[in-house]
Amino acid sequence: MSDKRIRVLIAKPGLDGHDRGAKIIARALRDAGMEVIYTGLRQTPEMIASAAVQEDVDVIGLSILSGAHNTLVPRLLDLLKQKGMSDVTVLLGGTIPEADIAGLKKAGVAEIFLPGTSTQNIVDFVRERAARK
């Protein structure tokens, strides 16, 4: 078992200022023993991709409650690809209509966590993904 800690970037893309969920997930993952970097608010996809490279993360958790996910997420995934970071696990949470989930997963989002998800589910998912790599 590797003793290298899982590195996670929690990011708030776009103008959305609702950070309650993002902060809770950041703390829960930290409590679960992971290295967590929280970007803070109002990050462009460019800023997030740069941070992901700089911090050499294994996972990016995106929180979007503004409805801008169909614009911001594909753009970020593109940038990650360009920067050779396609093996990073990208997760998404927030206000995501059911109908948009398939398209986002097809674009490369590993999992989407809707409101009501327990923090343990997210911790388990991240650990399980990290163990696979």
Partner 1 sequence: MSSDRQPTTRRAAGEKSSERASEFTTVSGYPIRGLYSAENLSGWDPDRDLGLPGAPPYTRGIHPAMYRSRLWTMRQFAGFGSAEDTNKRFRYLLSQGQAGLSVAFDLPTLMGYDSDHSHAEGEVGKCGVAISSLADMEALFDQIPVGNVSTSMTINSPAAILWAMYLAVAEDQGVDWKHLAGTLQNDILKEYIAQKEFIYPPKPSMRLVIDTIEFGARYTPRFNPISISGYHIREAGSTAIQELAFTLRDGIEYVEWGIRRGLAVDDFAPALSFFFNAHNDFFEEIAKYRAARRIWYKTMTERFGVKLARSSALRFHAQTAGCSLTAQQPYNNVVRTALQALAAVMGGAQSLHTNSLDEAWALPTEFAATLALRTQQILAHETGVANTADPLGGAYFVETLTNEMEDASWKYIRKIDEMGGMIAAIERGYPQREIADASYRYQVSVDRKEKIIVGVNDFTGEESPIDILRIDESVRAQQAEQLRKLRSERSSEEVARQLAALRKAAQGTENLMPHIYAAVKAYATLGEICDSLREVFGTHEEASIT
Contacts with partner 1 by CB under 8 A lie at 14-20, 23-24, 26-28, 30, 36, 38, 40-42, 44, 66-72, 95, 97-99, 114-116, 118-120
| Shortest distance (Å) from residue 132 CB to partner 1 | 24
CB 52 within 8 Å of CB 85: yes
| Shortest distance (Å) from residue 2 CB to partner 1 | 25
CB 53 within 8 Å of CB 83: yes
> What residues contact 69, with CB distance under 8 A and at least 6 apart?
62, 92, 94, 96, 100, 104
Closer by beta carbon to partner 1, 16 or else 133: 16
Closer by beta carbon to partner 1, 41 or else 85: 41
Greatest CA separation for the chain? 40
Closer by beta carbon to partner 1, 20 or else 132: 20
Closer by beta carbon to partner 1, 82 or else 121: 121
| Shortest distance (Å) from residue 83 CB to partner 1 | 20
CA distances (Å), origin 101, targets 42, 84, 96, 98: 23, 24, 7, 6
| Shortest distance (Å) from residue 125 CB to partner 1 | 14
Query: What's the one-letter identity of residue 77?
Result: L
